[in-house]
């Protein structure tokens, strides 16, 4: 059986009791290590779980899935996922591959950033489409996520922005030489995300008036860092202010709230206001 087990958001102890019991009985244990990051080190997980853990990078999960799957009917494999097993499409693909090979699959759910962002006080039922903000390069600066933010603003609903993570990304030179060399890990910050959004906002020359009215550089945004950990940090401020803030170590995410707030949302979110008050 393949057991896909959510680890939650922070450290080794966030795993569920059910998940921990399964991990300790499995023949092989993998940790998916490229769609998110825990505050705990691999050694911390191994010590607490009492099991050696193999790292599953993007290359292994997306190109060599069969290496992860159980080899026979008696073998049990645990595939550990930060957050919840269905937080990334990669995990759905692995599950489908297992079922196509008549391998039984067991899912153990856990906390996800998709629900944990409610810690800032914004009500989850008011969130619209989630967007991913990718790192830009000199020749690649996609901006399709921006229009999704604008669309949610028109509907007066919140937008969760998941920020890019680069782990074990091959260098351009290594791709050309077909020799494996990797760039240092990078984790997008709320400052970097806000800066990219500001750049799109300022460079859009033909923007409909209705779009300008719903979003600008003075609009309130919410930055969240290390959600679920002891040093969790939340700040609400203008987009312009967020571009210059340092919320510390990763992981980060950002919310573009709706135009108007429910009174309870406003009271709760005001506790995290950078300047003591929220106003656009």
- Are the C-beta atoms of 12 and 43 separated by less than 8 Å? no
Which of residues 111, 136, 162 is at a domain's end?
Answer: 111
- Are the C-beta atoms of 227 and 133 separated by less than 8 Å? no
Tokens 């312009």, located at residue: 240
Q: What percent of the chain has pLDDT over 90?
A: 69
Give the DSSP letter of residue 258. Answer: -
Residue 94's pLDDT is 87
pLDDT above 70: residue 280: no
Rounding to the nearest 10 degrees, give the CA dihedral for residues 118, 124, 129, 134: 0
- Is 163 marked as a binding-site residue? yes
Residue 59's pLDDT is 77
**Range(s) of the domain holding residue 176:** 114-271
3-state secondary structure of 86: coil
Tell which residue, 66, 117, 61, has the closest CA to residue 89: 61
Please indicate, yes or no, if residue 158 is contained in any of the structural domains: yes
CATH code at 216? Answer: 3.30.950.10
Write down the mean pLDDT value for the chain. 90
* 149 in the same domain as 86: no
- Is 112 marked as a binding-site residue? yes
Which of residues 60, 90, 111 is at a domain's end?
Answer: 111
Ordered alpha helix ranges (H), the chain: 17-23, 42-49, 58-63, 65-68, 89-100, 113-116, 144-154, 172-177, 190-203, 209-214, 239-242, 263-270
Q: What is the mean pLDDT of residues 96-125?
A: 95
Residue 270's pLDDT is 94
Structure confidence at residue 113 as a pLDDT band (50, 70, 90): very high
* 267 in the same domain as 155: yes
* 153 in the same domain as 77: no
Q: What is the mean pLDDT of residues 264-279?
A: 88
* 208 in the same domain as 134: yes
- Is 39 marked as a binding-site residue? no
- Is 50 marked as a binding-site residue? no
- Are the C-beta atoms of 35 and 167 separated by less than 8 Å? no
pLDDT for 44-92, tens place per residue? 999 999 999 998 887 787 777 788 999 998 999 999 999 999 987 778 8
- Is 227 marked as a binding-site residue? yes
Q: Which sign does the torsion angle of CA 98, 36, 222, 136 carry?
A: negative
Looking from the CA of 132 toward its CB, the CA atoms found within 13 Å total 11
* 136 in the same domain as 79: no
Is this model's pTM higher than 0.95 or not? no
Please indicate, yes or no, if residue 280 is contained in any of the structural domains: no
Which of residues 71, 95, 111 is at a domain's end?
Answer: 111
* 40 in the same domain as 24: yes
pLDDT for 164-216, tens place per residue? 988 776 666 666 666 677 777 889 999 999 999 999 998 876 667 677 778 99
| Structural tokens at position 245 | 């803030």
* 140 in the same domain as 243: yes
DSSP states of 119-148 as a string? GGS--GGGB---EEEPPPBTTB---HHHHH
Residue 34's pLDDT is 75
Give the DSSP letter of residue 254. Answer: E
* 235 in the same domain as 202: yes
* 188 in the same domain as 250: yes
* 140 in the same domain as 241: yes
| Structural tokens at position 7 | 């680890």
**Distances from the Cα of 58 to the Cα of 61, 62, 97, angstroms:** 5, 6, 16
- Are the C-beta atoms of 278 and 269 separated by less than 8 Å? yes
Please indicate, yes or no, if residue 276 is contained in any of the structural domains: no
Please indicate, yes or no, if residue 126 is contained in any of the structural domains: yes
- Is 9 marked as a binding-site residue? yes
* 147 in the same domain as 97: no
- Is 91 marked as a binding-site residue? no
CATH code at 73? Answer: 3.40.1010.10
Number of domains in the chain: 2
**Distances from the Cα of 260 to the Cα of 49, 154, 243, 263, 280, angstroms:** 45, 11, 22, 9, 11
pLDDT for 131-154, tens place per residue? 999 999 888 888 999 999 999 999
Residue 254's pLDDT is 98
């Amino acid at each position: 059986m393949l057991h896909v087990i959510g680890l939650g958001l922070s450290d080794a102890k966030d795993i569920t009791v059910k998940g921990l019991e399964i991990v300790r009985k499995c023949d092989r244990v993998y940790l998916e290590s490229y769609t998110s990051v825990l505050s705990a080190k691999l050694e911390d997980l191994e010590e607490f779980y009492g099991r050696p853990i193999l790292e599953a990078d993007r290359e292994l999960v997306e190109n060599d899935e069969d290496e992860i799957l159980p080899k026979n009917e008696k073998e049990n494999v645990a595939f550990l996922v930060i957050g919840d097993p269905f937080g990334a499409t990669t995990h759905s693909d692995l599950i489908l591959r297992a079922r196509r090979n008549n391998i039984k699959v067991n899912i153990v759910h856990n906390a996800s950033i998709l629900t944990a962002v409610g810690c800032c006080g914004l009500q989850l039922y008011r969130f619209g489409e989630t967007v991913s903000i990718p790192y830009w390069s000199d020749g690649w600066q996609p901006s399709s996520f921006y229009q999704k933010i604008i669309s949610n603003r028109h509907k007066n609903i919140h937008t969760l922005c998941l920020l890019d993570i680069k782990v074990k990304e091959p260098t351009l030179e290594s791709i050309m030489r077909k020799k494996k060399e990797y760039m240092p890990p990078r984790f997008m910050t709320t400052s970097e995300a806000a800066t990219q959004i500001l750049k799109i906002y300022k460079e859009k020359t033909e923007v409909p008036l209705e779009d300008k009215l719903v979003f600008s550089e003075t609009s309130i945004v919410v930055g969240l860092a290390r959600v679920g950990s002891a040093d969790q940090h939340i700040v609400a401020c203008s987009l312009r202010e967020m571009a210059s803030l340092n919320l510390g170590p990763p992981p980060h995410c950002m919310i573009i709230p709706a135009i108007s707030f429910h009174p309870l949302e406003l009271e709760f979110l005001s506790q995290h206001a950078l300047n003591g008050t929220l106003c656009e």
